[in-house]
Amino acid sequence: MTIVNQLELQVLMQAVNRRAPFGERDYWLIQLLTNTGLRVGELVALNVGDVTTEGRPRQVLFLQSEQAKGGRSRSIPLNQPAREAIAGLFAFLRVRGFSTAPTAPLLVVRQHRRISIRLVQQIFQHLREKCNLDTPATPHSCRHFFATQLVERTQDVVSVSRLLGHSRVQTTMVYQHSSPDRLAAVVRALEG
């Protein structure tokens, strides 16, 4: 399992040429992935109406069972960076003349069609090569980043499991790393 760190994600995002025709889309796509933990298939299935109401980002993303892997619907609260990404994607669609109707795809290609999973993977590959990133950063490694950050900061594996759409909490346990600092904190808790 490959997990990118914060610095690697920043390098990847800085490699995006935001002046390129689809640079803004690519930049906000990465931001949305790293702040929601979506699978790439879930990301590309999103429609404008799934994440916005009257052009404004929603507070919560509700993935319908037909959009989510395993047919397990779930709610994902959207933090400020995720809402900024949604606003950025909506603005990109509007400025570039793409549909912003609720049923329109959130992520599109030049032909006004929904972006493919393979194209998202190619975007990551291109950016990795452009910035000579040794870590194999992929759309799925952004999901791992999201999960690892949440587990490290909250120690709430059950909630993270729900956010990720895992059917078993044990699947989420892989994100619970026992760093030396964490182990020392656990032992210090016995001192009181």
Residue 178, Cα to own-chain centre: how many angstroms?
24
Active site residues: 39, 69, 140, 143, 166, 175
**3-state helix vs strand vs coil in the chain, percent to 5:** 55, 10, 35
The pLDDT score that the predictor gives to residue 189 is 73
pLDDT tens profile 92-147: 999 999 999 999 999 999 999 999 999 999 999 999 999 999 888 899 888 888 88
pLDDT digits (tens, 9 = 90+) for 61-100: 998 777 777 777 788 999 999 999 999 999 999 999 999 9
CA angle 161, 89, 5 (to 5 degrees): 45
Distance CA 47, CA 98 (A): 12
pTM for the model = 0.84
Handedness of CA 73, 76, 82, 87 (dihedral sign): positive
How many Cα atoms are found within 13 Å in the side-chain-facing hemisphere of 2? Answer: 13
Question: Scanning the structure block, which residue is given the tokens 């390098």?
Answer: 11
Continuous segment of H or E residues that includes residue 60 = strand 60-63
**Cα 22 to Cα 5, 34, 50, 111, 163, distances in angstroms:** 25, 19, 21, 12, 29
Mean pLDDT over all residues of the chain? 86
Integer Cα distance of 20 and 5 in angstroms: 26
CA distances (Å), origin 87, targets 91, 106, 148: 6, 11, 25
Q: What is the pLDDT of residues 155-190, one digit of tens each?
A: 777 776 676 665 565 555 555 555 556 556 667 777
**CATH number for the segment(s) 6-142:** 1.10.443.10
Q: How do the domains of the chain map onto residue ranges?
A: 6-142
Q: How far apart are CA 9 and CA 148, in angstroms?
A: 14
The amino acid sitting at 89 is L
